[in-house]
Amino acid sequence: MSFSTVINCMDGRVQIPVINHLQNRYGVDNVDVVTEAGPVGLLSQHPGSRDAWSVFRRVEVSIEAHSSKQIAIVAHHDCAGNPVPDSEQKQQIYSCLENLARRYPHMELLGLWLDQDLRIHEYIIESKSKNN
């Protein structure tokens, strides 16, 4: 069985579209889901907080126990847990990807933005370790 990991908002509207997208994109059987209210706000603004460490601990369980090779971070329109403009959330995705790249340099990273129609848009940064 193959796995990917996603740090997703707890909002139920985005769970199934994100899981389906990751299964199709990576060809994995399962997606380990770490949920948090507005995770891009938390991980971009407070990456050293207790709540952020809880997220990282759960991601590491997925990596270690299920040999996950990818981590996705999700933000979406109309997020109650991170009630900032969409443009700010999109910038937070990049900040999270940069933080995750430092923490997990050998993982494939993907940012996902879900618009008001739940269409998924991908955000990617190139990992420095993959260029070496």
Q: What pLDDT score was predicted for residue 131?
A: 42
| More confident position, 97 or 127 | 97
Q: What pLDDT score was predicted for residue 92?
A: 97
Mean pLDDT over 77-106 rounds to: 96
Q: Are strands 120-123 and 108-114 parallel, antiparallel or unpaired?
A: antiparallel
For the chain, list the domains and their CATH numbers: 3-131 (3.40.1050.10)
6-22 tens-digit pLDDT: 999 999 999 999 999 99
Q: How many Å apart are CA 132 and CA 129, to the nearest integer?
A: 6
Structure tokens at 117: 């129609």
Residue 36 contacts residue 55 (beta carbons within 8 Å):
yes
Mean pLDDT over 85-105 rounds to: 96
Average pLDDT of the chain is: 94
Q: What pLDDT score was predicted for residue 128?
A: 47
| More confident position, 126 or 70 | 70
pLDDT band at 125 (very low <50, low <70, confident <90, very high): confident
Whether 88 shows a pLDDT value over 70: the answer reads yes
Q: What is the pTM of this model?
A: 0.92
Q: What pLDDT score was predicted for residue 77?
A: 97
For tokens 């618009």, the residue is 115
Structure tokens at 86: 């969409």
Helices (H), 1-132: 12-26, 39-45, 50-66, 86-103
Residue 68 contacts residue 62 (beta carbons within 8 Å):
yes
Q: How many Å apart are CA 96 and CA 41, to the nearest integer?
A: 9
* 79 beta partners: none
